[in-house]
A and B are shown apart, each in its own frame.
Chain A
């Protein structure tokens, strides 16, 4: 990046402290759109369903605007040089998600389901908590390199979080996947969403220290640099853990996400393509191996290969089969190119998890191909800004952490959207920001907070040299 190289050559220059533009006003302008679009969408849904502007429009608009405004002020104060796109993108997706959740709340069919809760107000609360955590990250994480100190603590925290759903009495098996815990008084939590971030911290810290050993000590074999046996240890351990997740929590998505994130970071740290090859082979072997004996995984694969058969079985009342996959495909197909218009589709037919795992189908039906492409590109932009932050970061830990978080984000979007659209078997994760669910929203706001912190550090002009009495007589020569 030219800006990076420029700032680094300005280390000795006095004009460096004027620095790159902070782009905070760009962010504010974008935020106006990011709030206005969901507010219009909200009015649109109300007009379509009840023929009137929804009574909550003002409070909803003010709420979202206030949250975005507070977020923006925090960034302005604590991370003035941060990437200007990340906050508006996250706000826009979060706002659109709220609209779709409110729209599904209006469905009589969903209201009649046994576990129905009015989701939109809760999601607004989760959003507030998420932005709260985002601000806390900005205030207390003055420099992301601090996280490096907690490398091994992070590892233990992540492992505990991952194992929590397996603790008897705490874990909850929701439709086959054991990735939830029940906290009395608080409701359900998906610890995997938080573990994603904490594991990225651990991987970044660990790989930063070990990367030379992993990269250099290798033998060349058939054009690939093969790592030494002892260096294979870490990747084997992570692979083993993700296989264990797959076996005990029966969630292909989480398992794929963690292993994929590790392989990406390993590749970036060592610049060795052989790791990618190893990673792909190992995950393929693991997935096929587990699928050969785990009935839940087999069933997900069968439902993916033949959703119509799965639908027919569920209509016949065969236990353990679900009509969701087929209903989601019908929702996408019925949306066509331009969609039915907000509030005018029938994605409530998906019933269970229509507003969480399957929320993308609602957008697919009501906003059509055009809307889904726009949403996918919004996600793509977040990932792109994340990787750009990694490129711009000046320290290897920051680079690794940024690429790990954005890589995991990209994988999650791919696994969830691919699952709902029938590209890959369905997993138990949700679309970041769009889907209903507290853990997901809060954790992803924290993720955005960390990326913003890293990008702020990366784009911040270097401080002007401290006034040193010795230096006073020194003449600065401009390059």
Chain B
């Protein structure tokens, strides 16, 4: 079983600041981390490998320092990693990103046939959730989104049983291998990495590919050139203003609150007054 996990380096949006003038993310204000959903994707691959055996490869696109997220994936338990890094990829939107990643996946698939691709549900800096399904479309394999459990992998039948989260419940489906999953955080808990993984990751040097390493690449589909997305407007939503604060002793507070509620029409209507 060969699983490829696609991972992305993102700024930690929990602490990132927004430049009030340009409304863009001030990337220097936050450390770069492995996209949390992608960490769950790697962990999901590790859990599957425990049952089926095989190899986990991770794939990322980004500047050279994005090797850090590949090393992090090795800590979680991946076997090897590939980074595609080239100026030609810069400025890519989800369409161009899925194209570039699919080219890398073709190359990986040639060397070792891929049975499953796992992505995080979305990246926390863009929140689009489009790259995973985009790759599936380009590779012509079924995309299965919002995955919260991979219950059974049958390598002989080339099938996999998957539980999906829907807005009104769950869906249990069987998909054919190879397929692409995008996973929710609920799928697992990231385990505390064992020491041998840590040592392996510290030593690991990912393979780095440039555009010239790929065959049959249409350069017009890469980077900014291949990105039809236009950002129309960006704004920071205003902070919600705090409501009125009621102070005083408990009795006073209750009385004040009752006064306010009584003043508002249709909030409290006394039965007797009707």
Chain B associates with chain A = no
